[in-house]
Amino acid sequence: MAGRRTVAIAAGLGAAVLGLGACGGDSGGGGGGGKDGTLKLVGSADVDHLDTASGYSTFSSLLTRQYARTLFNFKASNTFEEAIKVQPDLAAEIPATGNGGISADGKTYTIKLRQGAQWNTQPPRPVVAGDLVRGLKRLCNPASPSGGKGYYIQTIVGMDAYCKGFGKVDAKSAKAIADYQNGHQIPGLQAKDDATLVIKLTAPASDFTNILGMQFAAAAPKEYDNYVPDSPDYRKHTVSDGPYQITSYTPNKQYTLDRNPAWKAESDPLRAQKPARITITMGQDSPDVVQQQMEQGAADLAWDQPVPTARIPSLKSNANFKIMEGSTSNPYLVFNTLSPSNGGALGKKQVRQAIEYAIDKSALIQIYGGPDVSEVLNQVIPPRSVGYQPFNLYPTPNNSGDPAKCKQMLAAAGHPNGLRLKFPYRVSSNHPKIAQSVQANLKACGITADLTPDTNGTFYGTTLVTPSDAKSGKWDIAAPGWVPDWYGNNGRTNIVPLFDGRQYGANSTDYGGYNNPQVNAEIDKALAAKDAGAAAASWAAADKLIMQDAAVVPFMNQKYPIFHSSRVKNALYLPSQQAYDLNQIELS
């Protein structure tokens, strides 16, 4: 997921502690006990999307976890082995052939729901299997579709045809959207009764419980049929089945979450309800100011800002500071292959290959704190993810770039006078420094990059995910980040969302519209493999093809420095969100 989607720590780490030391207990659990008080987060920008159907950032996933539940999910923990284990959430148990949850051919899942989960409606209403069907049907709505819809189209019988039809519906009409959704069935989705969901797959998928654990698959109440997905009206009327509910929301300024009185601790083994209130205050673009507020006790956690690089050395002995392991491509440079700018130059492989040589990756590593925090990445799949095989098709001395070679190749590709590229960048975190460094690298190669500031939410929610803007050349290059959507058996997560061109469209994370039939064939081969080990070779082959095409310039694999105020206790980590689970935190 962008990080937006940004972390996967590998199963190879076993039960290693995620941070440099334990913080609080080893794992979260259900239970409404704990300290009261207000947990205060401070940061820069709003989420990309608040609707679970389309939210696809680490920040939106952290927020929706507090009030929206899925069939399966993860338990926050400072032990890696525990943190990456898929757990039942709304489901009563993990389906298996032994308990009747998975058919002998691996293609039918029968999932029993846990009792006691409720919506915070008046009066409270049970969460039923039909709500989960509604959630899955909403994810390819025409107004704000999921960037991860490919996961479901590839696996669930009839989902592809349903989504293609949904895309033709009036995206501005809540009634038209609800009428299509409720009037068209998906053969592979059935609410057998209120407590039983049956899902039929096109082929066995060993990672299907992970797919059902993403926020896109969250249960959705019938009230959502009244609103255009992720519209301002929708954002004012979120309904909760988790421990917290949004009680106040001012776009780009603040969220207030209070305890949900309809939530029952015994119905939720993964979350708690410890702070009385959670506030997220936005508009602070300086990581240094956010860090200062946490150290002074005015804030408890950073919302979307990193620990300032200059502060990392002095914080290493601080008990409130940790460096978490990572398996990410964050950030990286993506090319808009659809842009008509410069005569469609970025659609040419030779031009993109030239730019591969321009980037001084060693300088970018220093921006994030040096080798203690980051390592150079020269391929798409990062270390500790399935399919990782180290290679470097575009070597430069000490990974410092080769502007002369870039110029030479650019001229050979028909652009001896260079290029002029539009480069939107995020104003939060270290992204301005990254943009300036890349801009300088490109200038040395004869390329002018015009920088345009952007908020994190708009960057991921509009700028990079609007196909008409890509095709009209409103942007040419950008530096998003990627955290694999899950860990362990995660080969699918580093390739499919970013490079399967068959899924390109609104909110797609294949930002630049890259599409190569050879890569798609390797994807299909990997997905048909019997297990992660058998699939790894195909994921690796896809990685090499993508890099031969120079679809992106990988920069680095980051670890994740994280800090909290001294009053925070029981801080338990969620690797996929790169954050502590807010509902578990106790305040001293």
Q: pTM (2 decimals)?
A: 0.86
- Alpha-carbon distance 105 to 397, whole Å? 52
At 395-437, the pLDDT tens digits run 999 999 999 999 999 999 999 999 999 999 999 889 999 999 9
Other CB atoms within 10 A of residue 549 CB: 19
1.10.2020.10, 3.10.105.10, 3.20.20.190, 1.10.1060.10: CATH of 332-558 = 3.10.105.10
Write the Ramachandran bin of 277: left for phi over 0, alpha for psi from -120 to 50, otherwise beta. beta
Mean residue pLDDT of the chain comes to 93
How far from 555 is each of 21, 67, 393, 477, 479, CA to CA, in Å?
28, 35, 14, 14, 9
Percentage of residues of the chain with pLDDT beyond 90: 87
CB atoms within 10 A of CB 254: 15
Could you give phi then psi for residue 335, rounded to 5 degrees? -100, 135
Q: Encoding tokens for residue 113?
A: 């729901």
Question: Which band of pLDDT confidence, cut at 50, 70 and 90, is reported for residue 71?
Answer: very high
Alpha carbons 260 and 109: distance in angstroms, whole number: 31
In the chain, domain spans:
11-279+561-587, 332-558
Please state, in angstroms and rounded to a whole number, the distance separating the CA atoms of residues 421 and 441: 13
Model confidence pLDDT, tens digit, residues 195-236:
999 999 999 998 999 999 999 999 999 999 999 999 999 999
Which distant-in-sequence residues (6+ apart) come within 8 Å of 391 by Cβ? Answer: 378, 379, 544, 547
Q: Is the pLDDT of residue 531 over 90?
A: no
Average pLDDT over residues 347-370: 97
Fold of 11-279+561-587: D-Maltodextrin-Binding Protein; domain 2 (3.40.190)
Q: Which of 97-111, 438-452, 482-496, 533-547 has the lowest mean pLDDT?
A: 482-496
Please give the average per-residue pLDDT across 350-360, as a whole number. 98
